[in-house]
Structures are given as structure tokens and as C-alpha cells.
Amino acid sequence: MEKDKYENSIYKVKESRNRIGIMGGTFNPIHLGHLVTAQEALSQFRLDQVVFIPTCDPPHKVDNDIASAEDRYLMTVIATASNDDFFVSRMEIDRKGKSYTIDTVRELRSIYGKEVSLYFITGADAILEILTWKDTEEIISLCSFIAATRPGYNLARIDDLKEKLFANQQEGNGKISVMEVPALAISSTDIRQRIQKKQPIDYLVPEGISHYIMKHGLYI
């Protein structure tokens, strides 16, 4: 039933989707850096769609200042509503419990089939932690990664990671691609701190997100 629900709602909006971007994250809150990253990946990697998947209970987050899953989902919907190539999935929120990347990638692979290329979009710092993720080898076998970096980022760290993951595996070289995104200087942590200090967050988040945060009293 769950698979049918997702197939009928998100993944058949267009008849042909061969290259799908997956953008998972806490989105606490979603900001312009996330949106620019998704749009850049869409363009550079010729993706057909980017699916945003807010986490329900992120296993690597220890921050107590996390808005509810529903608030974060709704903010992500508001932020992406004007882009026909962006979609927001409730997959991890409805699944409940800890949100592990492997569970989501397995489900997406089951829905899309083997013919579709999946690209998991994440920050370079996050991907450096991939060896600590649950079932790392299986994740890598099911999708490729786009590591978004800030200008001037030390790419040697990514090269070292590739050496560890793909030693003596020629086909592994294309599994992790680096994408430079200037807007990544914006961070959700900084936005939350600015709200707590009563500082403006204009032009850091979409206008609708700023209104939502203030209306619902988030991060105060």
C-alpha cells in the first residue's frame, strides 16, 4: 500500500524520469542555500526532478532545537511550491522512528526500478561521515552522490574518502561528484541563532518561510 501511495502521488507526475535527485535533510528550517543547491544539481547533472525528503527523527542530530516534523515538512512545501521540478515527499515523516538513508534509498529504488539513476544530494561535510552511516556499502551500490561544497573547500578530503571507499574499484570514481555552490555559506544553525537574537533572516530564507516561522513562533 505504501509503495502504491508514493507511486501514484510523487513519482508519476511526469511520464519519463530517468535521473532523480534526492535531497534529504532536517530542513530546520529550509533556506535559500538548500534551494540553490537543488537547482544547481538539477542543471549540472541534467536531473529530471529533485525530491526533497525531510527527516522525521534524524539519527545524527543531537540538537534539541528541532521544529516538529510537520512544521519542517510544510516549510519545505512552501519553499519549493513555485518550482515544477521540485517535489516534497512525506516518506520519512510517515515512516516514523529514526530516519536512515539506507531505508529511504531502498524504498526509492524499489519504486523507480533499476533503470532510473538516483543521485543523493548532500553537503560535502555530511558525505565525509558516510562511513558512519548504516549499511554504507549498500547505499553506494544503490545510488550516486553529489557532494555540494563552498568555494575554497579542501577537496583533498573528498579524494581521501574516495580512496577509502573505492580502492581498486575503477567504476567507483563516478559514484561521488563534487559540485561548488556559493550559497552554501547560509546555514540553518545560523538562521535559528539569528531568530533567537531577534536579528533579521530576510534573503536567507524564502519570504513564505520567514512568515511561517514568525506566525508559528518557531526557534524562539
Taking only the tens of pLDDT, the chain with its 220 residues reads: 444 444 444 544 444 579 999 999 999 999 999 999 999 999 999 999 999 999 987 665 556 689 999 999 999 999 999 999 999 999 999 987 787 899 999 999 999 999 999 999 999 999 999 989 999 999 999 999 999 998 888 899 999 999 888 876 666 667 999 999 977 789 999 999 999 999 999 999 999 999 999 999 999 9
Q: What pLDDT is stored for residue 21 in this prediction? A: 97
With left for phi above 0 and alpha for psi between -120 and 50, is residue 209 left, alpha or beta? alpha
The set of residues, in sequence order, having a beta carbon less than 8 Å from that of 147 and lying 6+ positions away, is: 122, 123, 124, 127, 158, 176, 177, 178, 179
Asked whether residue 82 is domain-assigned, the answer is yes
Q: What pLDDT is stored for residue 1 in this prediction? A: 43
**CATH value at residue 29:** 3.40.50.620
Q: Could you tell me the residue range of the domain that residue 91 belongs to?
A: 2-185
Give the residue from 123, 109, 37, 144 showing the smallest Cα distance to 80.
Answer: 37
Asked whether residue 195 is domain-assigned, the answer is no
Asked whether 206 and 78 are in contact (CB, 8 A), the reply is: yes
Asked whether 76 and 30 are in contact (CB, 8 A), the reply is: yes
Q: What pLDDT is stored for residue 60 in this prediction? A: 59
Asked whether residue 50 is domain-assigned, the answer is yes
Asked whether residue 205 is domain-assigned, the answer is no
Asked whether residue 159 is domain-assigned, the answer is yes
Asked whether residue 163 is domain-assigned, the answer is yes
- Could you give the number of structural domains in the chain? 1
Q: What pLDDT is stored for residue 56 in this prediction? A: 87
Asked whether residue 151 is domain-assigned, the answer is yes
Of the CA atoms within 13 Å of residue 15, those in its CB half-sphere come to 0
Q: What pLDDT is stored for residue 152 in this prediction? A: 84
User: In sequence order, what DSSP letters do the residues of the chain get, joined into one string?
Assistant: -HHHHHHHHTTTSSS---EEEEEEE--TT--HHHHHHHHHHHHHTT-SEEEEEE-SB-TT---S----HHHHHHHHHHHHTT-TTEEE--HHHHH-SB--HHHHHHHHHHHH-TTSEEEEEEEHHHHTTGGGSTTHHHHHHH-EEEEEE-TT--THHHHHHHHHHSTT-GGGGGGEEEEE-GGGG--HHHHHHHHHTT---BTTB-HHHHHHHHHHTTT-
Asked whether residue 58 is domain-assigned, the answer is yes
